[in-house]
Amino acid sequence: MKKFTKDDTIILLIDHQVGTLGWSVNRPKEMIISRTIALAKLGKALGIPIVLTSSQETLAQGLLLTELQEILPEEYANRIKREGITNAWNDESYREAVLKAAGERKNVIMAGLTHDVCIVFPSRSMVEVGFDVQVVIDAGGSPTQIADDIAQQTWEKGGGRTTTINQLVGELIDSWATEDGQKAVQIVYEEVMSKIGKF
């Protein structure tokens, strides 16, 4: 398995919406939010392209988390608003946006809500067309633990990998002593380590 670096990777944040957050009950909502914020900040700090998408914002799913709009105003303004297509990769506008952002990059960091619908399908589709996909499991969730377990098994059987925010940062950063390392340390401390034991 190839190591991900900031120069060969993109970040896809899928359907981190107010409503879908409410449906993801197998892990604390505060955990999902903090890890999602960490991913957004990490991508911005390291210059990793980020694509946002939402599904049916005017219905129960609701708007994307306000934190994403604050951290990533340009990406938020350019988000792909899907109208019911469950596999985001099958949405032509989204697929075009991802391919444009990726360029020659073939590594994908993916996170979203919910795993059992909105992550399992695009992760497999992107592996099938040649991308290496890692799903950040603590930046998403599912309506039940059973659903989450089956989703994880499915994307792993399809060739995707599972990671956590801390493991991912450790992979992207060669040394905490570098400029990028210092940026990453601050983000991880603020959004992850400082919250340990609080939810």
Q: Which residues are catalytic?
A: 118
Q: Is the peptide bond before 114 cis (omega within 30 degrees of 0)?
A: yes
Region for residue 24 given its phi and psi (left: phi exceeds 0; alpha: psi -120 to 50; beta: otherwise): beta
Rounded to whole angstroms, the Cα distance separating 189 from 177 reads: 15
Q: Which of 198, 176, 161, 172 is nearest to 42 (CA)?
A: 172
CB 136 within 8 A of CB 117: no
Other C-beta atoms closer than 10 Å to the C-beta of 138 total 22
Surface-to-core class of residue 89, CB atoms within 10 Å of its CB (0-12 exposed, 13-18 middle, 19+ buried): buried
For the record, the structure tokens of 142 come out as: 């599912």
